[in-house]
Structure 1
Amino acid sequence: MSRAGRRRRPVVVALAVLCVAAVAGGIALGVLRPWAEPATEPRPIALDGDLATHDPALVVGAAGEPWFVYSTGVPNKALGAPVVNRSDDGGATWEQVGPAWGSDEDPQWVRESIEGVEHYWAPELVEHDGTWYLYFSASTFGSNTSAIGLATGSTLDPADPDYGWTHRGAVWRSQAGDTYNAIDPGVVEDADGNPWLFFGSFWDGIHAVPLEWPSGMPADGAEPVLVASRGDGENQIEAPYVVERDGWYYLFVSWGKCCSGVSSTYSIQVGRSRDVTGPYLDAEGRDMADGGGTEVLASDGSMIGPGGQSVSQGHLGYHFYDGDAAGAFRLAVQELGWSDGWPVATPEVPVPPG
């Protein structure tokens, strides 16, 4: 059956818990209260246009303004700079509008310190005080000789006369012998407005490290804190993204293997915490640092290996591998639903009519 014809019931990532669950720090998760917000359903968007996207950093524009997706670069285009896609109709139709920067603007610090980088992976976009911060990953497959870089600019739109990125150098590094891999950046501000960088892929999992504004670089004395791990042999966990909602920090991660077409095994998992550094507990009270995670979205029919996610204005952006197109990777966007304080997603990937 084609995706256009599929109408599945949404995957609700948490069931109502009928009694208070005592968990670390004294936080009760999933407690039914008479003032709890009503459940909402996820709303997928039928996308068209240029959808070949890996690891999308989604930015939902205000009413009447464009949406943007920055994603993993293409090795033979602008030396692998992140790819920029734009939508002028509320996220329905996407056009590739170029690489984030040209070959002559390639960050030389990467070439001088990490051998073999062909393209930049898994970008992150954060706006602070009128400046956009573009974080990106520099690495090679299977290696943790890696770095997260930073560039800053005033606009996301390559058509804007003020468009352009200034490279600021490496934010955080890892090398052989380290217990983590410095790729897949995700940034969130805590209750005091201080930024935190989440990162990690395989090795011993996902870490958080404090940054500071306006540099967007690590705070003095910053040390990484482990927040999520599979705790098994391969530790297939990566692509952290944290969003704050109603006093909770929600940590989204991708479990499994990406980049393998129809053999990809990615799924999106989540946990939440009252503190930006955790512990992040899933809907059953399991710590994500000890293998916990509640499934948000997993392979379903021809929608294979969803992951590489980001969240903007309540919308989940991710990529998947299309079983109806020989495993080609493509972009998907949906407005998240919520039930009992947990995000709700749907495996339905509608296609535009015609």
Structure 2
Amino acid sequence: MTVRRTLAAAATAALMALLPNTAQAAESYPDPRPITGQQIIHDPTVMRLKGGGYVAYSTGGVIGARLSEDGSHWDDAGNAFAKPPAWWYGYNDTGDPWAPDLSYRAGRYWLYYAVSSWGTNHSAIGVATSRTGLPGTWTDHGRVFSSETTDTWNAIDPAVIRADGRPWMSFGSYWSGIRMVELHPRTGKAVEDAKVHHLATRPDEPYAVEGPEIVKHGRYYYLFASHDACCSGVDSTYKIKVGRSASITGPYVDSTGKPLLEGGGDLLLEGHGRYIGTGGQSVFRDRGRDWLAYHYYDKQDSGTPKLGLNELNWARNGWPNVA
């Protein structure tokens, strides 16, 4: 029986490597990698530090922090900041930051994050830097980009990538969907009079797509985004979809050629079993392999948000799938 199961699993994996990443039966989605220790998290961004070990930052606290030596056992490490920078209070009464993004460039770690209030696009994205990437070592540099109620986008959920030697930041939540601006390579803030590129949206209000993450693989840029609703425990409907483009600013399309600006996107991962509302994703590279980090709501633990980690594989046709 064990041999049969092994052969069946190998055949399934081989078939998935040949097919585009279209929707699949919920029971066939892989469970996240088993982890221990502090599992509670929301909107994780994960990285293997150059000094050794792993760090994860997240929504909650003053940008909540987790540390791990092996990527499997995680410990609570407090917060990125001891207290909220004063300017955060211009966007909510509690100085509550959301959805951080961690990257490394020019000898420093860069931590982008958003400050806003639920249901408004009076929002801003800020940035801090650190030489080590560890909690308690961050220096805040203020606003990167912002939005107001007169804008047709929402400046939250930042994600930064380098393309053609320049840094770019995707962002967005509901309103008109996912947007992008170019960043200044020295300051890490939006260039003067930055053009706001439109990358993805949904055809109908409330345009429920958010939390972008863009990675380069081969000759394409891949845009991962969370669709539908988060933050409702086991009633959450979050799922992760993906499209790609040969240009960082788009147009992005799914494997059928449908533009993400018309609601397209291949379904990469959705809720299954105890793992409800998979989303808030980021991608990190570790020892030559790509990993998808996300949160899910644990159906067997009253909908508590927890850290999901799956290896991200790439099919022969270039499209990603989770393992």
Answer whether TM exceeds 0.5 for this pair.
Answer: yes
Q: For residue 142 of structure 1, what is the amino acid of its counterpart? A: G
Separation of aligned partners in 1, 2:172 and 2:218:
26
On the 8 A contact 1:237/1:254 being kept in 2, the answer is: yes
Match of 1:285, SS?
coil
On the 8 A contact 2:17/2:314 being kept in 1, the answer is: no
Residues 268-289 of structure 1, C-alpha deviations (whole Å, 9 max, x = no match) = 0000011000011101111101
On the 8 A contact 2:241/2:266 being kept in 1, the answer is: yes
Residues 133-158 of structure 1, C-alpha deviations (whole Å, 9 max, x = no match) = 11111001111110001111111224
| Residue 172 (structure 1) aligned to one of 114, 127, 145 | 145
Q: For residue 144 of structure 2, what is the amino acid of its counterpart? A: V
Q: For residue 73 of structure 1, what is the amino acid of its counterpart? A: G
On the 8 A contact 1:212/1:219 being kept in 2, the answer is: yes
In structure 2, the CA distance between the partners of 1:14 and 1:250, relative to structure 1 (3 Å rule), is farther
Separation of aligned partners in 1, 2:302 and 2:165:
44
In structure 2, the CA distance between the partners of 1:14 and 1:285, relative to structure 1 (3 Å rule), is farther
Over the residues paired in the alignment, what is the CA RMSD in angstroms? 2.4
The answer on 1:51 being equivalent to 2:39 is yes
In structure 2, the CA distance between the partners of 1:181 and 1:66, relative to structure 1 (3 Å rule), is same
On the 8 A contact 1:230/1:290 being kept in 2, the answer is: yes
| 1:239 counterpart residue number | 211
On the 8 A contact 2:88/2:96 being kept in 1, the answer is: no
Separation of aligned partners in 1, 2:31 and 2:93:
41
On the 8 A contact 2:241/2:265 being kept in 1, the answer is: yes
The answer on 1:183 being equivalent to 2:156 is yes
Residues 79-119 of structure 1, C-alpha deviations (whole Å, 9 max, x = no match) = xx101101102x1100011111112xx211222x3242452
Q: For residue 107 of structure 1, what is the amino acid of its counterpart? A: P
- Give runs of aligned pairs for residues 81-92 of structure 1, distance below 5 A: 81-89=62-70, 91-92=71-72
In structure 2, the CA distance between the partners of 1:15 and 1:231, relative to structure 1 (3 Å rule), is farther
On the 8 A contact 1:256/1:267 being kept in 2, the answer is: yes
Separation of aligned partners in 2, 1:307 and 1:58:
14
| Residue 95 (structure 1) aligned to one of 68, 72, 75 | 75
Q: How far apart are 1:175 and its partner, in Å?
A: 1.1
- Give runs of aligned pairs for residues 247-286 of structure 1, distance below 5 A: 247-286=219-258
Runs of 4+ more than 6 Å apart: 7-10
The answer on 1:140 being equivalent to 2:121 is no
Q: For residue 121 of structure 1, what is the amino acid of its counterpart? A: W
Residue identity over aligned pairs, in percent, reads 40
Match of 1:253, SS?
strand
Higher RCO (CA < 8 A, seq sep 6+):
1
Q: How far apart are 1:322 and its partner, in Å?
A: 0.5
The answer on 1:72 being equivalent to 2:53 is no
Residues 31-85 of structure 1, C-alpha deviations (whole Å, 9 max, x = no match) = xxxxxxxxxx9895211110110000111346x92011000023xxxxxx10110
In structure 2, the CA distance between the partners of 1:157 and 1:115, relative to structure 1 (3 Å rule), is closer
On the 8 A contact 1:117/1:139 being kept in 2, the answer is: no
Equivalent residue pairs, number: 303
In structure 2, the CA distance between the partners of 1:222 and 1:271, relative to structure 1 (3 Å rule), is same
The answer on 1:323 being equivalent to 2:303 is no
Separation of aligned partners in 2, 1:148 and 1:73:
16
Separation of aligned partners in 2, 1:215 and 1:185:
16
On the 8 A contact 1:281/1:288 being kept in 2, the answer is: yes
In structure 2, the CA distance between the partners of 1:71 and 1:115, relative to structure 1 (3 Å rule), is closer
Separation of aligned partners in 2, 1:45 and 1:233:
35
The answer on 1:312 being equivalent to 2:292 is no
**Where do 5+ consecutive residues of structure 2 fail to align?**
1-7, 23-28
TM-score of the superposed pair, with normalisation by structure 2: 0.88
| Residue 87 (structure 2) aligned to one of 80, 85, 109 | 109
| 1:222 counterpart residue number | 194
